[in-house]
Amino acid sequence: MPIYLYKCEKCGKVFEQLVMKASEKPKCSKCGSSNLKKLPTTFGVKMGASGSGGSCPTGTCSLG
């Protein structure tokens, strides 16, 4: 059940929507329009050696 980011082409509102089925057609949470554009999203992946924390809050940490 992924969460997608949408932008309404009618009113411009950007919102997240949990989509239960691929056939489900979400509607704008502000104006009710179904004329939506799915926006690209990012996701986080935790990588690193055990016990090292495995995260880099600034994005400038070296991986090696």
Residue 15: which of 24, 6, 26, 2 has the closest Cα?
6
Would you say residue 64 lies in a domain?
Answer: no
Residue 50 belongs to some domain of the structure: no
Per-residue confidence of the chain (64 residues) as pLDDT tens digits? Answer: 688 899 999 999 999 988 888 788 899 989 999 999 999 877 666 666 554 555 666 667 766 5
Tell me if 56 is assigned to some domain.
no
The whole domain housing 15 covers 3-39
- Are the C-beta atoms of residues 4 and 16 closer than 8 Å to each other? yes
Give a yes or no: residue 22 inside a domain.
Answer: yes
Q: Would you say residue 61 lies in a domain?
A: no
Distance between CA atoms of 12 and 61, rounded to whole angstroms?
36
Total tally of structural domains belonging to the chain: 1
Asked whether residue 10 is domain-assigned, the answer is: yes
Report if residue 54 sits inside a domain. Answer: no
Residues 32/25, Cβ–Cβ less than 8 Å: no
